[in-house]
Amino acid sequence: MPKKKGDEVRKTYSVVNNVYVIIILVLVMGITILGAIAFPYYISPITYSNGGTAQAGGIAVLAALIILGLILGVYFVENKNYDIGTPILILMLVIIVIYVWLAYGSAAIKFIFNMSG
């Protein structure tokens, strides 16, 4: 029985879609590995304040939760469970945007407009 053209298109789309998911997961895993390598820096005595506690431990935990959320979101979207995967991905992206804004954005805006506060 000859194959229909639509079957080939669906198969090609499926293969391309799987390749994109694999690329995203490899990038996230690479970032995770780099984070694991940098994790001792976050909790090392070099970053301790006068009280002797780690300053950036919360950032390391936040980064781990964000990476976990991104992996879960991509997994759910890959398995066509869009009701769970899409909100998780959107939430993780919003958390990333808020953190980047708090860490860099507000200070840069204050510096540009020379505001004190």
What is the mean pLDDT of the segment spanning 88-116? 80
d(CA 102, CA 117): 14
Residues 6+ apart with CB under 8 A from 69: 88, 89, 91, 92, 95
d(CA 6, CA 15): 14
pLDDT, tens digit, 9 for 90 and up, residues 30-60: 777 777 776 666 665 555 555 555 566 677 7
User: In this structure, which amino acid lies at residue 54?
Assistant: A
Q: Is this prediction's pTM over 0.75?
A: no
Cα torsion angle, 22, 27, 31, 37, sign:
positive
**Residue 76 binned pLDDT confidence (cut-offs 50, 70, 90):** confident
pLDDT, tens digit, 9 for 90 and up, residues 19-35: 777 778 778 777 777 77
